[in-house]
């Protein structure tokens, strides 16, 4: 009789792991809608440790959800499934948890609540708070890689269309006007070339960007009607392009007198809005808007 061979402990463990199903803990809760009619939703669970997104979709009118999650810590929230729907969110928040045991009037905190998933199924993870503040909404936009919806201050910021400039159709200067700026001689070649080129700012002006050393750039404005050159002090040294900005630090248009300069100040991204007075040859600061710097952009500096 041949002796029975017992498998090695490590081999036995690997065999058991291979045969075991993937582990997921059921998480369930109720769903509501601020309109009273439940649209189809995508329910998301964002892993705070692994930066991984889990999701499940629901049907129109479906008032509950269930999602299997590995153990960990999560933010749980929902958004309309329709890609044309507004970017709004219902979330598991302190408010949603508070209303389990207290009247709604007694619950005022709308911050995201961290869901801790262990080994046991969880219920009552209700996504019933659709009244999130701008900071929470921006955080969820970031998780989903969505462009942030504009807040009240951004909606009130000056628009290029509010400072229109008609295209100049008169006679053009053929030479640069004399001036007391010592930089005129130094920059004469690019400024003369600008005078003969198409205007790109404020209807009759050519904005010229001129290097001034390592990581330094200044701006000259050439009026094609008079040949006059201005070096606005407010644009004497442009900041580096802000992190995650697709358009760079300076924004301007040929059909508008408005230009914007965006840079970083501490933990904020600050945009300054200037209006150009061609007759007076001066820029005027009309507004300044500070936004929290996106965390991913802040870490890339």
What's the whole-model pTM score? 0.51
Residues 199 and 277 in one domain: yes
Query: Quick check: is 8 in a domain?
Result: no
pLDDT value of position 284 = 92
Query: Quick check: is 13 in a domain?
Result: no
Residues 42 and 117 in one domain: yes
Among 149, 183, 217, the domain boundary falls at 149
Contacts of 204 (CB under 8 A, 6+ apart): 165, 167, 168, 223, 224, 225, 278
Query: Quick check: is 7 in a domain?
Result: no
Structure tokens given for 57? 């979709």
Mean pLDDT of 205-216: 82
Residues 178 and 260 in one domain: yes
Query: Quick check: is 215 in a domain?
Result: yes
Residues 159 and 50 in one domain: no
Residues 85 and 184 in one domain: no
pLDDT in tens, 230-248: 999 888 877 776 666 556 7
- Percent of the chain at pLDDT above 70? 83
Residues 121 and 138 in one domain: yes
pLDDT value of position 8 = 47
Residues 167 and 54 in one domain: no
pLDDT value of position 86 = 75
Among 98, 114, 149, the domain boundary falls at 149
pLDDT value of position 279 = 82
Instruction: Count the residues in the chain.
Output: 301
Among 149, 164, 194, the domain boundary falls at 149
Residues 145 and 222 in one domain: no
What is the domain extent for residue 97? 18-149
Reported confidence tier of residue 14, pLDDT bands at 50, 70, 90: very low
pLDDT in tens, 148-171: 656 666 677 899 999 999 999 999
Query: Quick check: is 294 in a domain?
Result: yes
Counted domains in the chain: 2
What is the C-alpha separation between 88 and 129, in angstroms, rounded? 11
State the CATH number of the domain containing residue 98. 2.60.40.10
Query: Quick check: is 83 in a domain?
Result: yes
165 burial (CB, 10 Å; 0-12 / 13-18 / 19+) is buried
Residues 54 and 188 in one domain: no
Query: Quick check: is 229 in a domain?
Result: yes
Query: Quick check: is 23 in a domain?
Result: yes
Could you tell me where the beta strands, DSSP code E, fall in the chain?
A: 25-30, 41-47, 53-57, 64-69, 72-80, 90-91, 115-117, 205-211, 217-223, 229-230, 250-252, 258-265, 268-277, 282-292
H runs (alpha helix) in 20-93:
none
pLDDT value of position 295 = 52
Residues 211 and 228 in one domain: yes
What is the C-alpha separation between 250 and 272, in angstroms, rounded? 10
Residues 49 and 125 in one domain: yes
pLDDT value of position 113 = 95
Residues 99 and 27 in one domain: yes
pLDDT in tens, 56-87: 999 999 999 999 999 999 999 999 998 777 77
């Amino acid at each position: 009789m041949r002796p029975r061979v017992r498998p090695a402990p490590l081999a036995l463990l690997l065999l058991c792991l291979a045969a075991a199903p993937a582990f997921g803990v059921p998480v369930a809760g109720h769903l509501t809608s601020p309109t009273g009619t439940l649209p189809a939703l995508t329910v998301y669970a964002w892993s705070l440790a692994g930066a991984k997104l889990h999701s499940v979709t629901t049907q129109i009118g479906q008032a509950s959800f269930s999602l299997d999650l590995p153990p960990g810590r999560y933010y749980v929230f929902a958004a309309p499934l329709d890609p044309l729907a507004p970017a709004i969110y219902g979330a598991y928040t302190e408010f949603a948890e508070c209303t389990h045991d207290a009247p709604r009037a007694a619950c005022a905190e709308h911050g995201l609540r961290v869901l801790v998933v262990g080994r046991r199924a969880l219920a009552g993870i209700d996504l019933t708070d659709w009244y999130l503040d701008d900071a929470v909404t921006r955080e969820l936009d970031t998780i989903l890689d969505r462009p942030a919806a504009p807040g009240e201050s951004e909606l009130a910021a000056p628009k290029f269309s509010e400072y229109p400039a008609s295209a100049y159709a008169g006679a053009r200067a053929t030479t640069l006007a004399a001036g007391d700026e010592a930089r005129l001689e130094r920059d004469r070649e690019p400024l003369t070339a600008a005078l003969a080129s198409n205007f790109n700012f404020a209807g009759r002006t050519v904005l010229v960007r001129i290097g001034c050393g390592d990581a330094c750039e200044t701006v000259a404005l050439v009026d094609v009607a008079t040949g006059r050159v201005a070096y606005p002090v407010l644009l004497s040294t442009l900041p580096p392009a802000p992190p995650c900005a697709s358009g760079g630090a300076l924004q301007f248009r040929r059909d508008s007198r408005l230009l914007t300069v965006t840079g970083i100040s501490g933990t904020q991204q600050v945009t300054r809005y200037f209006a150009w007075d061609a007759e007076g040859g001066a820029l005027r600061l009309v507004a300044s808007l500070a936004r929290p710097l996106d965390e991913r952009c802040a870490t890339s500096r």
